[in-house]
Structure 1
Amino acid sequence: MLIPLAEATAEVCGGKAGGLGALLRAGFPVPDGVVVPPDGLDVDELGRWLASAGDPPVAVRSSASNEDTALTSAAGQHDSFLAVQGVTAVVDAVRACRSSLWSPRATAYRKGSAVPSMSVIVQHHVDADISGVLFTGPTTVIEASWGLGPTVVEGRTTPDHYEITAGSVTSTIPDKPTSLHRDGSGLITRAVPAMRRRTPTLTDATAVRLANLGHCVASLLGAPQDIEWAIAGDALWLLQTRPITAELPRSADPHPAPLTGTPGSHGTATGPARIVRGPADFPHVIPGDILVCPHTDPAWTPLLTIAAGVITETGGLLSHAAIVAREHGIPAVLAVPHATTKIRNDTPTTLHGTTGTIHLQPKPEQRV
């Protein structure tokens, strides 16, 4: 039996659905939907709900019992799907969400703990013009980019970065070359027009509005929150909220370094650099390596159980990979331009995840 999203609780429907249900009941702007509980899937009932809604494109999203809790975020560890349309495709996506409980990345993330139960959210898809993530706190941190949210949460671009304290906004606006959009019942990556690549995605007024909304959510739920959001036209939507599981790095480094980036996860690590451009490079990683990647993908979670640290060329402080690195206690430095070409395999590398700095030593003999 389907559960209306507005009636979802974390105890029955998992943390993600429970958080959204609480927001809907409090009147926050959340796209409506239903929850498929762990113990069944009535295809006919799901088809009737889709038909009653006009068969819209939907987001099919995991909501496992170990997801979006105060101790574990499981950020990006289970599959979710955007722009799904038609009952057959939706049913396939629901089943794929459930199957992702046994993926290598989800298994590695659990570290041997029990397999959780999996509810699945089927929710109206938002065709976002701008999307991102915010972390509430005395200083609210917002990261944003053009188009749909995976560009930000998967670290595939370096997003605009905003910090809001007592209504005052500071921002960093990098180059944003690509954006993700719905194209029919699929997704397409588009080149951002040159004049918009360094244009701020948010005005200061919108950044303050998002920060204020985030504080209202945190007040309702009783803890600082990690919130995914989207703007479509003039409408602002909240797509997910969960407790913040690890503190953001904030310190500045008084010492110059040959390479610098965004502090992503606290700590310092030293080890040989290992360039990882995709799954074909996974077998070359050994315990203690420093991963150097164009970006990180949730599928790379097993590497975070053996790596000493992570360096990426793109990505933001609030991306899934950065969140998981902080939960695992692995130092990370993000958005280091051309890191995979400036750092060579086996180069002894020290990264300071709290300060965003990287120091290199002369490369030793090639290991065998």
Structure 2
Amino acid sequence: MRAHLRPVLAGLLLTALATVAGWGQGTAPAVAATDGFRGVNWADERDNFVDGALVLGGLSTSDSYDTTRAKTDRIVTGLQDNLGANTVRMPVNYATVSGSYWNSYTGAVDEATARGMKVILSYWEGDSSRDGKVDDLSQFWSMWRTVADKYAGNANVYFEPMNEPHGYSDDDWKDLAAQWLDTYPTVPRGRVIVSGAGYNQRLITIGDDSRFDGTLLSRHIYQFFDTGRHTEASWRQALSDSIGKYADRSLVTEWGAPMTDGRNYGAPADNSDDFVAFVRGVAAESRDLGIGTVYWPGIRPNDAYRMETLNGSGTDLSLTTTSTSGRDQLRHSWGL
């Protein structure tokens, strides 16, 4: 190295280090991992495949905007205090967004983002179809227009055009997702999360398509997706292989396992418990790859996979963690 270049290069190094150090204070690095997403799903008790308005656990269609915000304040406080979460994934559908309840539903988004949470809004098809395709394209575009017009300018809101588009071929799904990007150009690409093809499984086909440059990619992974795997190492390999070279853009927006039956996720499974192997493997690989994870579900009443139980009534709500060892693995996946 030439001597006169050393001060210049040293200055560049200090600038780079300052950029990384300032990331948590609002300075975006040139190349970033996604481990800044530490999240859970907040779901409808019926699951998010519903034909009418979506009603998240603890909320009601009779709630006003202010009541929804008050309830969300208590729920977000529980997620932050109990888990260290900073992200919540919430569903949207046409019935919710086009109806009168939308005015109240937005209270959950507004309160969560005001509390510093990232909010991922994802389209879910109705219960009467469940075919992995958009129920009605004209309603789909109208719904997202309403959502984009309201939240494109909110830096804490992220847009996931469709949850688990398994009814489409890879090419057809990519064409629809690319059309989404063209239709809502006011939404920054860095805040669009494109689902992997199938059940959010095939990310590389999305990452390899230049039409999605600059977007984030979504992966779903569950033990029941591949029951032939029995070790932590095999689940680590499954996640790594599906993401390939796109770890810096990838998120696991769903993964989960039983949390209410006393199962111990704190010790290696030794091939004796496939769910323990799954959780530990996904947590470890996510941490090593630097990818964010969003657990399914954080809140969904009566779901055996839920990480948090919702207590109380009205606006007097609180959360309790269902599994200490499960929580620790979730936090491990987040790098905490």
Return the TM-score normalized by structure 1.
0.26
- Comparing both chains, which one has the higher relative contact order based on Cα–Cα distances under 8 Å and sequence gaps of 6 or more? 2
Q: Could you say which structure has the higher helix fraction?
A: 2
Return the TM-score normalized by structure 2.
0.28
Q: Could you say which structure has the higher strand fraction?
A: 1
